[in-house]
Amino acid sequence: MLPILLVMERLISKADSPSVARLKREAQRLFARSGIDGVTVRDIAKAAGQKNPAAVGYHFGSKEGLIRELVVDGAKIIDDRRNAELDALEANGGPDNIAQIVDILLYPSINLAAPGETDSFNRFLRMLTMSQRELFVDALEGRWNSGYQRCLEQLRQLMPKMSRAKQNQRFIFMEEYLSGILTARETRLENVSRNHPTWKDSSILKHFGFTMVHMLEMPVEK
């Protein structure tokens, strides 16, 4: 599998003021490190250099409002990337194999941070879905995961013959595997106190995708 070409959108919208952008950036970083319940609005304001601890409420209405914006910011970028790649693939008569769909699930989920910064969106989502999955689903509004759903429908056509229930089980495995590995990668790469040769290896994502393909292609045991 080869990495697909991506439009390198970033998490912070150009429309955000510098103060709002910094609040979002610091909030996501703190949530990724300490979990949703382990971070207060005061912590976020302090990290963002805001003297007024009510800054989060002023700009986002509440901590939940901020979380919803963070979810949508990242989900929009990933969804746009996935849909663009699927459109291009289908326009050329594809997909031809599971590996192509795995690439579209994997690569749009990385390189979301601003230049010079470390990705934290996957860790933030992991923390959120572990403690408040309903909030995550509600924030998507059924709109910002269409690319993911299209990928699942393509996989249903390409996977070995099995019941829909078994397919759904594989998708659960795949979702947890994808989230877990990308979260671990972000965590290790942020830690600059030591070297991480495995996670810095340029081939690791290709190898990871290869293992995802095999999990999806494996026949059902009779």
pLDDT tens-place string over residues 22-70: 999 999 999 999 999 999 999 999 999 998 989 999 999 999 999 999 9
- Using CA of residue 63, residue 66, residue 70, residue 75, what is the dihedral sign? positive
Q: Which of 104, 113, 97 is nearest to 147 (CA)?
A: 104
Average pLDDT over residues 199-208: 94
**DSSP assigned state of 203:** T
3-state DSSP assignment of residue 207 = helix
Encoded amino acid at 66, one letter = L
State the Cα–Cα distance between residues 209 and 90, nearest whole angstrom: 20
Domains, the chain: 69-217 (1.10.357.10)
| 107 vs 112: CA distance, rounded Å | 10
Cα separation, 177 vs 106, whole angstroms: 11
> How many Cα atoms sit within 13 Å of 154 on the Cβ side?
26
Contacts (Cβ under 8 Å, ≥6 apart) of 41: 53, 54, 55, 56, 57, 63, 66
pTM of the prediction?
A: 0.89
pLDDT, averaged across the chain: 92
Interval 133-151 mean pLDDT: 94
Residues whose CB is less than 8 angstroms from the CB of residue 116 and which lie 6 or more positions away in sequence, other chains included: none
Query: Would you say the C-alpha torsion 84, 87, 90, 91 has a positive or negative sign?
Result: negative
What is the mean predicted confidence (pLDDT) over 93-116?
Answer: 95
Give residue 55's Cα distance to chain centre.
27
- The answer to whether the beta carbons of residues 21 and 69 sit under 8 Å apart is no
Q: What does the block give as tokens for 93?
A: 């008569």
pLDDT at site 45: 97
CB 41 within 8 A of CB 53: yes
Cβ atoms 184, 125 nearer than 8 A: no
